[in-house]
A and B are shown apart, each in its own frame.
Chain A
């Protein structure tokens, strides 16, 4: 028995080593950094141990702004993108002609580069001295004044941000949901049809419960992904996110490490630990709900 365990450990060794060095150790290290006050990366020295870093981060208006932005993005984009993806997948699975073409079209954003797409979005929405941008031209047709989506009011910017985020995460969700819909056995629908089940009831009582594990999977990964948003913001508003008022928590961590005001690994670590705690809590709640709701 002991021999067997040893063998198993040997087989696991590469994975344990790899995960330990690149996942577990940095995590612990970040935790340690976050409690070291006045850490200096050049001299590798610090003044003392305590919760000052957390206190600093939690009182930093940039961090609070980033936290607010992140939460707004999460709360808006996760439900909206999941619902939209469900609607589009339902449409895709109920059309016969050109289904493959549409599936490809909807999947294209997934294989395009975030920064390139962000640039296109910026051009669509940006107002410059020469042009108001395509979106503003359309708004004008309906008789409204031009809005500067990129450098303008906060809600205009947040709208572009959410719009863009939803657009970026849609293809993956559509891919998952169309395959989930296709995996529901035809017999269930036949049985429902013979019993005279109305279409909506079939959808609500059979289709949704059948694909619910996949929906929960998308919601959980969607939450995690949205909490870690950063590159999408850079793609549209550039690297100085604090100035644009559109920073996210991950953006704040980056700024604290390498930004113009950076060089504070302790603050960055504290912010990272806070983000970890938030994501962890939300994921646990999600899992608890999904366990209750999916029964098979």
Chain B
């Protein structure tokens, strides 16, 4: 099902007496969620992403704006009539019911013409259990399951009524690192098998990047950018999005454009066709390669070897954070010697942002090409 969010705005009454202004949790959010895709709603804590989810499922009513399901306005429809499934961060499984009874619960709520016979209910529960691969635990209670298994039960419970939309609120946050990896693959598989439009909220950019078809990046109640994960990573719209996506995060320097070149400190690091101005220069860690002929110099702090990756950690006075991090091939680690390292920069990994608005500045030549 296609979900359209039109100028969605949600304000909460302020509980702080010193600041009586309303809290704007979601601000003018407009987006069309395509059918049958897995959508990652990404943003830092408190940016309003959970509120967007609550608005879609109907637990909250929008202050203004509309929500359309397949073109039909559902803004005032009660949650139970919207045909949505919701999975909570802490699973919210009923602790006094077995796994089987938990999954059965939504089906037993059906009344009147939708009422199901026992056999049909049983069949549906078994199907859902099979889909999330928890058939062997049906007689257990939630407390007897691991976090990952509990989360699967929660997904089965949300799916058993075959909702048109599946919403997941931070579904993986309560799991440990290994389970998180496993469960997110599982999530991807379940979404593919059912083809249900799925929206999941997360503050973990890696999670969103790895399994989403599309990512929506939210910041302070606004939709900052949306697109395919790699597109957003390669081509962020502003400094916030650039910093939020990527581990290790992008290195940000105070810099300037001078005569068609990007200048950091007193080095002209690479060509950039734009009018002179002060800027933020972002360099992705994988865009820096140690090279004696390189154009960018930083003082070496240490070399970190973590399994597959080798990071060169440096210091640079113009950098926003205390250290500059470059991810390089392990083979080249030998070439790195104190005190100073020279790096060659990959131009596509160097991103330039306006110093004041923090919006992306694109080279004029590139603009011309696009036109």
Contacts and interface: CB of A to CB of B under 8 A. Distances in A.
- Among A185, A194, A196, A294, the one with the most B-chain Cβ atoms within 10 Å of its Cβ is A194
A187 interface: yes
Contact of A195 (B58, B80, B95): B80
Interface string A186-210: 0110110111111001000110011
A188 B94 contact: yes
A290 B84 CA distance: 37
Interface residues of A, number: 20
Nearest to B86: A194
A187 B96 CA distance: 15
Contacts of A111: none
Interface string B137-180: 00001010000000000000100010000000000000000000
A294 B141 CA distance: 13
Contacts of A212: 96
A28 interface: no
Contacts of A209: 94, 96
A296 B161 contact: no
B44 interface: no
A295 interface: yes
A190 B105 CA distance: 14
B84 A206 contact: no
B80 A194 contact: yes
B140 to A, nearest CB: 12
B109 A191 contact: no
Interface in B81-101: 81, 84-86, 88, 90, 92, 94-96
Given A201-B109, A296-B141, A296-B143, A194 B59 contact: yes
Interface string A51-84: 0000000000000000000000000000000000
B79 A193 contact: yes
Nearest to A212: B96
Nearest to B59: A190
Contacts of B92: 185, 187-188, 190-191
Contacts of A295: 96, 141
B34 interface: no
Given A187-B88, A295-B141, A296-B141, A194 B96 contact: no
B88 A195 contact: no
Contacts of B109: 195-198, 201
Contacts of B106: 195-197
Contacts of A210: 95-96
Contacts of B42: none
B137 to A, nearest CB: 16
A214 to B, nearest CB: 14
A210 B142 CA distance: 14
A197 B92 CA distance: 15
- Most A-side CB within 10 Å, residue of B105, B111, B143: B105
B270 to A, nearest CB: 51
Contacts of B58: 194
A185 B106 CA distance: 18
Nearest to A187: B92
A21 B106 CA distance: 58
B279 interface: no
Interface in B180-203: none
Contact of B81 (A196, A205, A296): A196
- Interface hub of B84, B94, B110 (most chain A Cβ within 10 A): B94
B269 interface: no
A204 to B, nearest CB: 12
Interface in A156-203: 185, 187-188, 190-191, 193-198, 201
A185 B92 CA distance: 8
A296 B79 CA distance: 29
Nearest to B114: A196
B141 A194 contact: no
B198 to A, nearest CB: 15
Contacts of B86: 190-191, 194
Nearest to A206: B94
A195 B161 contact: yes
B359 to A, nearest CB: 38
Contacts of B81: 196
B324 to A, nearest CB: 43
B129 interface: no
A194 B95 contact: no
A208 B297 CA distance: 68
A86 B74 CA distance: 37
Nearest to A294: B96
A197 B57 CA distance: 15
Given A194-B59, A195-B105, 7 more contacts: A190-B59, A196-B81, A196-B106, A196-B109, A197-B80, A210-B95, A212-B96
Interface of A: 185, 187-188, 190-191, 193-198, 201, 205-206, 209-210, 212, 294-296
Interface of B: 57-59, 79-81, 84-86, 88, 90, 92, 94-96, 105-106, 109-111, 141, 143, 157, 161
17 contacts: A187-B88, A188-B92, A190-B88, A195-B105, A195-B109, A196-B81, A196-B109, A197-B105, A197-B106, A198-B111, A201-B109, A206-B94, A209-B94, A209-B96, A210-B96, A295-B141, A296-B143
The 8 closest A-B pairs by CB, nearest first: A196-B80, A187-B92, A195-B106, A209-B96, A296-B95, A191-B92, A194-B79, A194-B86
